[in-house]
């Protein structure tokens, strides 16, 4: 009986941490949007283009790199994906 309770608690804790991790990974995108992208221009530059293809966003972010945006390859890839899906948190970011 006690062992079953312990097992249940570990399971609940596991699900909790797994979800917390997923949320943290997702909000890295909006962190970059807020910190880096808004450094040079307003969100009206990119919010109307939410949901455009991954190809479009990769090309556009290449332009931003040429404009002087300082992000790693991984960060550019993350933002391109999050803006093209578009990810729920990107939509939320743009509805502010």
Single residue of 18, 23, 63, 74 touching ligand HEC by CB under 6 A? 63
Q: Cα dist. 46→21, 55, 77 in Å?
A: 27, 15, 16
Helix axes 2-32, 73-84, angle to 10 degrees: 100
Single residue of 29, 64, 87, 94 touching ligand HEC by CB under 6 A? 64
At closest approach, how far in Å is the CB of 23 from ligand HEC? 21
Structure tokens at 12: 């609940």
Binding-site size, ligand HEC (CB under 6 A): 17
Question: Using an 8 Å Cβ cutoff, are 23 and 59 in contact?
Answer: no
At closest approach, how far in Å is the CB of 28 from ligand HEC? 12
* Region 27-46 residues binding ligand HEC, contact defined as CB under 6 A: 32, 36-37, 39-41, 45-46
Of the candidates 67, 71, 19, the one whose C-alpha atom is nearest the C-alpha of residue 79 is 71
Where does this chain bind ligand HEC (CB under 6 A)? 32, 36-37, 39-41, 45-46, 49, 60-61, 63-64, 67-69, 79
């Amino acid at each position: 009986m006690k062992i079953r309770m312990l097992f249940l608690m570990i399971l609940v804790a596991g699900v909790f941490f797994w979800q917390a991790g997923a949320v943290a990974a997702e909000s890295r995108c909006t962190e970059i949007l807020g910190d880096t992208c808004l450094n040079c221009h307003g969100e009206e530059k990119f919010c109307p283009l939410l949901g455009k293809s991954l190809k479009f966003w990769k090309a556009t972010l290449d332009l931003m790199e040429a404009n002087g945006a300082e992000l790693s390859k991984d960060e550019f890839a993350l933002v391109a994906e999050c803006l093209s899906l578009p990810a729920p948190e990107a939509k939320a970011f743009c509805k502010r």
